[in-house]
Chain A
Amino acid sequence: MPAIAAMSTRNAWLALWAACISISAAAAGGDWPMVAKDYANTRYSELGEISVANAANLKLAFTFSTGVLRGHEAAPLVVDSVMYIVTPYPNYLYALDLSKPGAPPKWKYEPKPLAFAQGMACCDVVNRGVAYANGRIFMNTLDNHTVAVDAKTGKELWRTRLGDVALGESMTMAPLVVKDKVLVGNSGGEFGVRGWLAALDATSGKIVWRAYSTGPDNEALIGQEFRPFYSQDQGKDLGVSSWPPEAWRIGGGAVWGFVSYDEKLNLIYYGTSNPSPWNPEQRPGDNKWTSGIFARNPDTGAARWFYQTSPHDLHDYDGINENVLFDLPTAGGSRPALIHPDRNGYLYVVDRATGEVISALPYAHITTSHGVDIASGRLQYAQDKEPKAGKVIRTICPSSSGGKDWQPSAYSPKTGWLYLSIQNLCQDMEATKANYIAGTPFVGSEQKMYTGPGGNRGEFAAWEPVEGRKKWSIPEKFPVWSGALVTAGDVVFYGTMEGWFKAVDARTGALLWRFKTGSGIVGQPISYLGPDGKQYVAVLSGVGGWAGSVVSAGIDTRDSTAALGFANAMRDLPSETGMGGMLYVFALP
């Protein structure tokens, strides 16, 4: 008896100690409470234990197998000494107890999405992460449900159906919680869905508002508050009149990227996807409000401004890439801005209060346009690269996957630079007639991608957003399909499709350390302070996504047009890596 009593006293002390540590960890920003770390979407960790000087000593701390073998694009979350990970379909949600050795699972939640939804995921059955707020985890399932789960017990609290698999809709994005609302959007720009972003009440799961990306103003929540900067975005019901009759009903503009939030301006920012179908000849007009950036009031959904990065998108350049909020230094002080590296190859710096483009400079090799006219905000298309039916247009750069796809960049307030994953791919493309059949692809385009100039298919780079130039660049054999992480220790982390997890010097790009994981990395690395007071770095390894579907979906690369043309550029990936689904966590010894 005395021995047991002594044990429990000791355990109680340990628990108290752990609680104190975790409170201080949270206070110091040691948690990673949302996929992008903060509302500004910086993916910057204030932790500095791992530094340029000691990163070479990083060691594997623990691993966890997710039991799923498709593309793992999610970021783990860490809140109060618990790590939450969501897997690709069937969307398992795990809670790992970081306070115990080896971080064993605390609970597992299975939302059991419809198997049929797998046929509606254009680019692998991925999920990009979950959100945490007030003791709840919010997640999206591939079959269009948003679910709230009790973070302590793993019990489902509510579940709301938001879309219809039969219409080709799916959900893959990571929700963002703003005040009492959970913001979620749909995927399906390759199926002729009508895109939207919705706000759900975090307590009840009821839909508070839904803003469509096409159609009449009242359904796009465009009203009195809407003050777009450029004249081409001003007018009534442009979401109808910039389309052929009724085409906006199946016009895409899905919302499958990341949402950021400015508390001071009370505005959320997100991108809208490509218009449907890809074949531009079937949808003359600017196709609003697709392939652009929306700023909205999170309380009502009312639009404040919109800027279209690719009007009448010709090449599936989409507009969903992340918007990283930062303050642009100016002569008189600073200006609230956002950085948006678009798939069309330009890195935009936009005034986030007004939607005015401050600069738009190429960060990738571009043949499809001649630049962005700053006065009008319009992308200047190269007419000879416009897809046509019955004609193969060659050397379209960047390819449809863009200079950069969804994989999010990181911004360090210390260096003032953006760290981004880049693809160096071009493609040949031929428009074909797309027929709309609900629940089947609505694309109308054949393409095959190949390596761009230089011979490397990927690149990881640091970008200085004030002058607008690359500070350093690391060529990579394959497209870099992982997100980026930057820390106060001036260490930048990213993963490659071969499976290398790398740490590089934020100022020089010099390789500090690398570790070969079991499968290619397409996830989002994070960093957190463990209950033991040590800094950890975590990443999911499991190749897949559009670029990695050659492996995860068993594509036959004898067909160059397979996987929407990505197969042609990734023929050698299966000989470099295999399928996987594993969490890797690292720390200093």
Chain B
Amino acid sequence: MSIFIDSLSWALLLLGGFICVSGAIGMHRFPDFFSRMHAASVTDTLGGGLVLVGLMLQVEGQYIVLIKLILIVLFIFLTSPTASHALAKAALHGGLRPKLGSNQEEQDEDVLRSFGPVKSEDTKNKE
């Protein structure tokens, strides 16, 4: 039983580490700001969450550490998606638009309706 828990926690830790690394690679290689941000937030939420759950399984006997880890996971699940939401909203306000398809001129109608068309001088400053 304890070997099962040990190997499960090791698997979770390794998986969390792999997700963090792939998130970092994705942050470099994705073509567009919004997909890069998605990669970053996956690193934060899923990678961090899995590592912490793996650590939770390693705790033996000191239940105060288990409770603290659960609180940290709750906090991360609450704040990290909010942070990426705030970033995306700020970018949309600043004039950046997601690149849909290979044609740069296609845009989503919802985005156009709530935020207006791209202000061209702002995007020149960003790149």
Please say whether chains A and B are actual partners in one complex. Answer: no
A residues near B, CB below 8 A? none
Residues of B near any A CB (own CB < 8 A): none
